[in-house]
Amino acid sequence: MDIEFNKNEDHNKQLVFKLKSRLEKVYLGGGEKKIASHHKKGKLTARERIEYLTDDGSTFLEVGALAGEGMYEEVGGCPSGGVVVGIGYVSGRQCVIVANDATVKAGAWFPITAKKNLRAQEVAMENRLPIIYLVDSAGVFLPMQNEIFPDKEHFGRQFRNNAKMSSMGIVQIAAIMGSCVAGGAYLPIMSDEAMIVDKTGSIFLAGSYLVKAAIGEDIDNETLGGATTHCEISGVTDNKFDNDEACLDYIRSIFNKIGKGDSAGFDRVTAALPKENPEDIYGILPHDRVKPYDTLHLLKYILDDSKFDEYKSQYGQTIVCGYGRIDGWAVGIVANQRKVVKTKKGEMQMGGVIYSDSADKAARFIMNSNQRKIPLVFFQDVSGFMVGSKSEHGGIIKDGAKMVNAMANSTVPKFTIVVGNSYGAGNYAMCGKAYDPRLIYAWPSAQIAVMSGASAAKTLLQIKVATLKAQGKEISEAEEESLLKEIKDKYNEELSPYYAASRLWVDGIIDPIETRNVISTGIEAADKAPIEKFNVGVIQT
């Protein structure tokens, strides 16, 4: 192995180490003292509940583990958005699990909590997966109620989704394992079956203090809305259990009797590992993001048996398209080619840039994949579309629109992995978050923004300097350099995959060698939902 491989390997392994260190901290939720306090009450934590509930030896694909990271620091932060979400297996049945983390501000809802819960419901609805709610929440975080309560994609949207999922025949099971108050009380009761843990679970529209203030009635919370009240008097909940474990055991018994739904019918054969060692992927991805690399080589570390049937290999070479398998599933790959390529006309095309011919090829490939009912996987390392008079005269906007149209109207499920750059309109064309990928994950090497940090900083600096000059102010070269650094530091922070993950622009950041498992889990989920007939609409030729 050459020195460049070793440099790349060291750099990428350090990025993965930092990722795992940050995740370990996130997994502690509100911290060890809060966890101990939780245990003292006889309760399991959110992650312990999920571990107990899911099948031994099965995988749990977490969605939004880094949500809320670095946000709300003025009120102590909100690790994982105060809720743990993911796709897991219960009694052999794949499902979505949502568990409030009461070690984080008593499980209160922050704006990012609402966004994450809605993402969980979206995953369930798109893939027709059963969903389990493990409820333990103090309700809306009141100091931020204006950012959570009234808008379309706020707190109330989850109850609308409860109703929609019910009409779609999606199984919803809820367990009240702690507090469940105010508007949040509707979520478990709009589910198909709601159970409650005795003495620790409670559910009411208003707690005892608010009842006293509102109507002058003196009553304790247990009598007002405890397990006995709701299982024996009101009938609001269906069954009560002595502890968390008994409640979770009952959910498992429900799931081992659920019938199978329809299938999308995606093709799967016996899985094969890549011929290339997946761990060598660390040495392939350049530590210097401006350096080129061969995407076809990278794919050999991801695809079954390292086999790839390339489509139009000599045309539109800055996008690689073709078919292969991941964990046995047939997939269509659309990936940015990062090496500089030479066309038949002798022209040199920059890697990571989408040209007219590349966009045209990708649009045709996406349509073919829909015709054949093959899920699509996008590997993003894109700087954007080619600019300049030659590209404009050649119709780059029209060809880019064709690609976006085909991708946006695709009815086969789409999955996106952000490998490196994800800039500007390239993010859109390569199935960014706005285009409904079933799952979208980033590698630690990813960057997501309108443009690169260097380009953006220089542009912003020019605007700032011009504004100051218009005000009659002159700045020295040293001041200009200091201003450039300040702008660049801020922009680079926003480029970070952690910035994106904390805001749920991506579902999470993963070790590159986890890519196969993420895509396989996603396609298995998507296979539960029959797909509609593909109709691309109007495309200019």
Q: What is the pLDDT of residues 185-243, one digit of tens each?
A: 888 999 999 999 999 999 988 888 888 888 998 888 888 889 999 999 999 999 999 99
pLDDT at res. 207: 80
H-only helix segments in 216-306: 221-225, 227-228, 244-255, 281-284, 295-299
Q: Which of 79-93, 214-228, 453-467 has the highest mean pLDDT?
A: 79-93
Structure tokens that stand for 345 in this block: 């006309």
Give 380: exposed, middle or buried? Use CB within 10 Å, 0-12, 13-18, 19+. buried
- State whether residue 471 is helix, strand or coil: coil
> Which residue bears the tokens 């605007």?
463
pLDDT at res. 148: 84
pLDDT at res. 343: 76
pLDDT at res. 140: 84
**Cα torsion for 97, 101, 107, 112, to the nearest 10°?**
-70
pLDDT at 331 over 90: yes
pLDDT at 483 over 80: no
pLDDT at res. 185: 82
Mean pLDDT for the chain overall: 92
Round to whole Å and give the CA distance between 448 and 408.
20
pLDDT at 1 over 70: no
pLDDT at 146 over 80: yes
- Output the CA torsion sign for 408, 413, 418, 419: negative
Residues whose CB is less than 8 angstroms from the CB of residue 471 and which lie 6 or more positions away in sequence, other chains included: none
Do residues 67 and 502 make contact, with C-beta atoms less than 8 angstroms apart? yes
List C-alpha distances in Å: 25 to 85, 326, 510.
17, 31, 16
- E strands along 337-452, which residues? 341-342, 348-349, 353-354, 376-382, 384-385, 414-423, 439-442, 447-449
pLDDT at res. 540: 58
Mean pLDDT calculated for residue range 144-155: 85
Round to whole Å and give the CA distance between 142 and 287.
45
pLDDT at 311 over 60: yes
pLDDT at 406 over 80: yes
Structure tokens that stand for 113 in this block: 């909590």
Round to whole Å and give the CA distance between 383 and 484.
22
pLDDT at 125 over 80: yes
Q: How confident is the model at residue 445 (pLDDT cuts 50, 70, 90)?
A: very high
pLDDT at res. 402: 93
Round to whole Å and give the CA distance between 529 and 534.
15
Mean pLDDT calculated for residue range 60-89: 96
pLDDT at res. 378: 98
Residue 321 backbone zone (phi > 0: left; psi -120 to 50: alpha; other: beta): beta
pLDDT at res. 459: 75
pLDDT at 298 over 70: yes
Q: H/E/C letters for each residue in 159-204?
A: HHHHHHHHHHCCCEEEEEEEEEEHHHHHHHHCCCEEEEECCCCEEE
> What residues are paired with 503 via a beta bridge?
none
SS3 content of the chain, % helix, strand, coil (to 5): 45, 20, 35
Round to whole Å and give the CA distance between 322 and 338.
16
At what angle are helices 46-53 and 244-255 packed, to 10 degrees? Answer: 40
List C-alpha distances in Å: 229 to 183, 189, 201, 475.
19, 15, 11, 71
pLDDT at 456 over 80: no
Q: H/E/C letters for each residue in 148-167?
A: CCCCCCCCCHHHHHHHHHHH
Q: How confident is the model at residue 467 (pLDDT cuts 50, 70, 90)?
A: confident
Of 90-99, 140-149, 378-387, the least confident: 140-149
pLDDT at 535 over 90: no
pLDDT at res. 473: 78
pLDDT at res. 7: 95
Mean pLDDT calculated for residue range 92-109: 95
Round to whole Å and give the CA distance between 320 and 333.
8
List C-alpha distances in Å: 462 to 164, 189, 484.
50, 56, 9
Q: How confident is the model at residue 453 (pLDDT cuts 50, 70, 90)?
A: low
Closest CA to 98 of 77, 82, 74: 82
pLDDT at res. 46: 97
Residue 257: count other Cβ atoms within 10 Å of its Cβ: 8
pLDDT tens column, 497-529: 999 999 999 999 999 999 999 999 999 999 999
Do residues 445 and 291 make contact, with C-beta atoms less than 8 angstroms apart? no
pLDDT at 119 over 80: yes
Give 516: exposed, middle or buried? Use CB within 10 Å, 0-12, 13-18, 19+. buried
pLDDT at res. 475: 77
pTM: 0.94
- In the chain, % of residues over pLDDT 70: 98
pLDDT at 537 over 70: no
**DSSP assignment, residue 379?**
E
